[in-house]
Amino acid sequence: MAVDVGKNISGFLSSKQVGASSEVASEWAALDELHTKKLYHQLTLKLMTFVKHPSLQEGEQLLELYSKFIMYIENKINPLSLVEILAFVVQQYTDWKEAVSFLEKMEVKVKGCEDAVMLCKVLAGQILLEKLSDTVATKKIIDDVEKELDKKDGVGPVHGRFYLLASNYYRQQGKHAEYYRTALRYLGCVNLDDLSFKEQMQHAFFLGLAALLGEGVYNLGELLAHPVLQSMKNTPNKWLVDLLLAFNSGDIAKFDEMKPKWASVPDLAAQELKLRQKISLLCLMEMTFKRPSTDRQLTFEEIAAETRLPVNEVELLVMKALAQGLVKGAIDQVDGRVHMTWVQPRVLDKQQIATMVKRLDVWCKDVKNMEQLLETQAHDFLTL
C-alpha cells in the first residue's frame, strides 16, 4: 500500500481536523468521539456515510482512512457493513491486481458472514471485468456466487450488485438472453430513483436490444411493464419502445414500417432474418391467444397472411413454435390446418388484457346460459 500505517488512531483523527473545513472537521471529530466511547454500531453507520463524502474521493484519502483507522477496528464492525465500506476504499487503488488481492484477503477476515464473503467476490469480479478485462476469472466468480445465492430465500443485500456484475459480463460477451434476464433481475433489486437518468436510459436501451436479439426471449411483457422504459419516452430512442410493442403483439406490418429506424442499429440490421423469425413466432402466438379455446383451428393461409410468409413455409414456422414450447397443438398436413390447444403464458399488455376480459365475458355468458338451461330442463333430465 502506498500510504504509511499510523498506530495512533486518536492522533490521526485529530490531525485530519486541522486545516479541514468546518463541515469535514466535524465529521472527523464525530468519528473520534464515537471511537473513544466505543460506540461501534454508530461508528459503523457514520463510516458508511462518510466514505461517500466528496472530500475523500480524491487521491488516497480513503486508503489512508482504512490503513490508519478502519484496519484497527474492523473486527468491531459488522462484516457486511465493513465490506460495504471497503467497496469505496478499493476504488482508490492504482494497482488493480493489488485491489483484488486485498479483497481476497478480506474474504478470510469476514468468513463468518456468507453475504460479506460473496460481496468481496462480487467487488473483485467488478475490478477483474472492468479494470483488468479478465473475463475468465470474472465468469468463475459469477458461477460461484450464483450457486450460493440460489440457496438463499428472497433478495439479500448482495443480489443487486451480483446481477449488475453478471449483466455487464454477459453484455460484453454478446450473450443477449443471459444479459436480458440478469439485467431485469438487477432492476428488480434496486430503486430506479437511485439511478441517474442516464443510467436508466442505458439500461432501457440495452435491455430493449437484448429482448429483440435474445435467443428464447419471447416474454417481452415484463420489460414493457417496467418503468425503466419511461426513460426513453421523450428521447430519440423512443422508436425502440414502439418496436418492442410491435414484437409483443406480433405486428409484422409495424415491424416492416419501422425498418428505417431499427436498421440504423448495426446489431439489429445484422440479425434481420433472426428478428423476422422471432416476430413471426410471436405473431403465431398472438393469433392463438386471440382465438377462443373453441375456435383454434388455424389454416395455413390465415397464418401466411398474418405472418407475411409463403404458405409453404408455414408448416416449418409452426414446427419451430411447437419445438420451442411456445404453443401446443397438432398439424393437419392434408387439410392444411393447425389445431392449437395451448399457448405459452406471458406478461400481458393492456390491449391483451382487454382481449382476455372480452373472452371472460363470453365465458360468463355461456355459464349463465347453461345455468338457465339446467333450471328449465332439469326436470326432464331427472326423470329420464
235 lies in a domain?
no
Cell numbers that stand for 330 in this block? 397438432
User: Has residue 347 got a pLDDT over 60?
Assistant: yes
Question: Using CA atoms, how far apart are residues 27 and 43, in angstroms rounded to an integer?
Answer: 11
Region of 154 on the Ramachandran plot (φ > 0 left; ψ -120 to 50 alpha; else beta): left
At 355, is the pLDDT very low, low, confident or very high (cuts 50, 70, 90)?
confident
* Average pLDDT score over the chain: 92
At 366, is the pLDDT very low, low, confident or very high (cuts 50, 70, 90)?
confident
Q: Which residue has the cell 416476430?
A: 279
What φ, ψ does residue 368 adopt, rounded to 5°?
Answer: -65, -40
DSSP 245-310: HHHHTT-HHHHHHTHHHHTTSHHHHHTHHHHHHHHHHHHHHHHHHHS-TT--EEEHHHHHHHHT--
Q: Which of 1-5, 11-15, 76-80 has the highest mean pLDDT?
A: 76-80
**What angle do the packed helices 159-173 and 176-189 form, to 10 degrees?**
160
Position 3 scores a pLDDT of 40
Question: Using CA atoms, how far apart are residues 169 and 299, in angstroms rounded to an integer?
Answer: 44
Handedness of CA 28, 34, 37, 40 (dihedral sign): negative
Least confident interval from 199-208, 318-327, 344-353: 344-353
pLDDT tens for residues 206-249? 999 999 999 999 999 899 999 999 999 889 999 999 999 999 99
Residue of 151, 137, 226, 231 lying closest to 189 (CA atoms)? 226
- Cβ atoms of 8 and 27 closer than 8 Å: no
More confident residue, 292 or 11: 11
Position 1 scores a pLDDT of 40
Report the C-alpha dihedral over residues 315, 321, 322, 328, rounded to 10 degrees: -110
Question: Using CA atoms, how far apart are residues 10 and 17, in angstroms rounded to an integer?
Answer: 11
220 lies in a domain?
no
Position 232 scores a pLDDT of 95
How many structural domains compose the chain? 2
User: Has residue 4 got a pLDDT over 50?
Assistant: no
165 lies in a domain?
yes
- Cβ atoms of 204 and 223 closer than 8 Å: no
At 5, is the pLDDT very low, low, confident or very high (cuts 50, 70, 90)?
very low
pLDDT tens for residues 34-88? 999 999 999 999 999 999 999 999 899 999 999 999 999 999 999 999 999 999 9
At 6, is the pLDDT very low, low, confident or very high (cuts 50, 70, 90)?
very low
Residue of 176, 182, 188 lying closest to 226 (CA atoms)? 188
User: Has residue 383 got a pLDDT over 80?
Assistant: no
In the chain, % of residues over pLDDT 90: 81
318 lies in a domain?
no
346 lies in a domain?
no
User: Has residue 324 got a pLDDT over 60?
Assistant: yes
Question: Using CA atoms, how far apart are residues 14 and 58, in angstroms rounded to an integer?
Answer: 20
112 lies in a domain?
yes
Strand order from edge to edge, sheet including 337-343:
297-299, 337-343, 327-332
At 373, is the pLDDT very low, low, confident or very high (cuts 50, 70, 90)?
confident
Structural domain for 161, as ranges: 103-148+157-169+178-186
Name the DSSP letter for residue 190. Answer: S
Position 286 scores a pLDDT of 92
Q: What mean pLDDT do residues 316-326 have?
A: 96
Question: Using CA atoms, how far apart are residues 324 and 336, in angstroms rounded to an integer?
Answer: 21
pLDDT tens for residues 160-178? 999 999 999 999 999 999 9
38 lies in a domain?
no
pLDDT tens for residues 94-141? 999 999 999 999 999 999 999 999 999 999 999 999 999 999 999 999
Cell numbers that stand for 31 in this block? 468519528
10 lies in a domain?
no
**Amino acid identity at 76:** K
The partner residues of 340 in beta bridges, in order of sequence, read: 329
Position 381 scores a pLDDT of 60
User: Has residue 296 got a pLDDT over 90?
Assistant: no
Question: Could you give the C-alpha distances from 83 to 80, 89, 107, in angstroms and in order?
Answer: 5, 9, 9
Question: Using CA atoms, how far apart are residues 332 and 210, in angstroms rounded to an integer?
Answer: 35
